[in-house]
């Protein structure tokens, strides 16, 4: 890693323009000077939800995208990983790249085994394309139901994709809003792979942690041992705000304590679509002991669970 890229260093600042692309004017770029976390993660800790964006001049953003981001290169991601004391990344294909996984694959190949990926694929993906993604380090596909991010894909198409990737040992990462879960419950429960739900299914944290909405999500995990959750993105869910995001803590902590072997954590760097507040990535790491209050829980959350899911082969 070039030290010039270190967070806060001269090469760190986000570029809002690249080739033919300009970051949306109502967007915030990633944090210009993340703080060094007080919490020191255990050896082998994984950031299991983060993205690379472009650079757009090299890896163009998809024509069908709903937003144009700032560039966020693989080298910046590695610099953040090292700065935060993490060792590995799981890079999730973001909707601004559609089903063109070239930026993701480029990052995985350059990672020297320190990154795995979650791709987005179209209905017509061939077996050899899936095999090439697998060789690069892809271990899952992402289904996105968040309407501001994507146009709808028919469920039959998604079911077919899940059937195609299951023999590779891949899982499905699924992103939805809590209000959608009643309609999605049976679809999710019937998928034939391990399922990872992004950001706890985006609960409304103004509601009770033991209320009907979050209970449905807990029931999904309780009744379906193949369902995991990311306990990431307090900054997206919180109404009380930074730096503690204290209103999100009871939701994440409940999942970590109830399902300690099926939770993952990630920064979500470079934090797409944030318009009011950009989190300090160091503070996001300091949030981990709030939601995983013992060393044993943190070892599972940051090391054992993501390693088992992504890095055992
Ligand atoms: C996230 C959240 C968001 C965006 C995407 O792929 C994406 O564009 O996932 C969001 O806007 O909530 O996990 O990065």
Domain segments of the chain: what residues?
35-311
| 239 Cβ contact partners less than 8 Å away, ≥ 6 residues apart | 205, 206, 247
Number of Cβ within a 10 Å radius of residue 226? 16
Q: How far is the CA of 91 from the centre of ligand 1 (A)?
A: 12
Q: DSSP character for 200?
A: G
Q: Please give the pLDDT value at position 51.
A: 98
Band (pLDDT 50/70/90 cuts) for residue 278 is very high
User: Residues 294-306: pLDDT tens digits?
Assistant: 999 999 999 999 9
Q: Residue 93 CA: which ligand 1 atom is closest?
A: 6
Region 194-202: mean pLDDT is: 98
Tokens of 280: 């300090």
The overall pTM is greater than 0.95 = yes
So which residues are the catalytic ones?
268
State yes or no: pLDDT of 2 exceeds 60.
Answer: no
Strand 17-18 with 21-22, pairing: antiparallel
Residues 277 and 306: their CA atoms lie apart, in Å, by: 28
Residue ranges around ligand 1 (CB below 6 Å):
94-96, 149, 175, 198, 236, 268, 272-273
Number of Cβ within a 10 Å radius of residue 126? 10
Residue with tokens 């790491």: 285
User: Residues 96-141: pLDDT tens digits?
Assistant: 999 999 999 999 999 999 999 999 999 999 999 999 999 999 999 9
Residues 63 and 240: their CA atoms lie apart, in Å, by: 36
Q: How far is the CA of 95 from the centre of ligand 1 (A)?
A: 7
Pick the CATH number of 35-311 from 3.20.20.140, 3.10.100.10, 1.20.1260.10, 3.30.70.20: 3.20.20.140
């Amino acid at each position: 890693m070039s030290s010039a890229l270190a967070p806060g260093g001269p090469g760190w600042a986000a570029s809002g323009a690249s080739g033919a692309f300009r970051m949306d004017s109502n967007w915030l770029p990633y944090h210009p000077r993340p703080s060094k976390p007080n919490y020191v993660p255990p050896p082998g800790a994984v950031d299991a939800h983060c993205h690379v964006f472009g650079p757009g001049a090299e890896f163009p953003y998809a024509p069908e995208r709903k937003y144009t981001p700032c560039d966020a290169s693989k080298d910046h991601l590695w610099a953040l990983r090292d700065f935060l004391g993490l060792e590995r990344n799981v890079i999730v294909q973001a909707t601004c790249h559609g089903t063109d996984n070239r930026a993701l694959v480029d990052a995985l190949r350059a990672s020297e085994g320190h990154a795995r990926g979650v791709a987005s694929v179209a209905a017509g993906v061939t077996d050899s394309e899936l095999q090439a993604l697998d060789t690069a380090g892809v271990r899952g596909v992402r289904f996105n139901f968040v309407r501001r991010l994507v146009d709808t894909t028919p469920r039959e198409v998604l079911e077919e994709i899940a059937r195609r990737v299951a023999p590779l040992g891949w899982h499905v990462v699924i992103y939805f809003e809590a209000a959608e879960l009643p309609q999605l419950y049976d679809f999710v429960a019937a998928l034939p792979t391990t399922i990872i739900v992004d950001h706890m299914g985006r609960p409304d944290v103004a509601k009770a942690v033991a209320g009907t909405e979050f209970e449905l999500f807990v029931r999904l995990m309780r009744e379906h041992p193949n369902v995991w959750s990311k306990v990431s993105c307090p900054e997206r869910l919180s109404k009380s705000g930074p730096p503690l995001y204290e209103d999100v803590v009871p939701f994440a902590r409940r999942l970590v304590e109830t399902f300690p072997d099926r939770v993952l954590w990630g920064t979500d760097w470079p934090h797409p679509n944030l318009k009011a507040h950009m989190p300090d990535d160091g503070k996001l790491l300091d949030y981990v002991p709030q939601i995983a209050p013992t060393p044993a829980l943190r070892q599972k959350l940051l090391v054992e669970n993501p390693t088992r899911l992504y890095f055992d082969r």
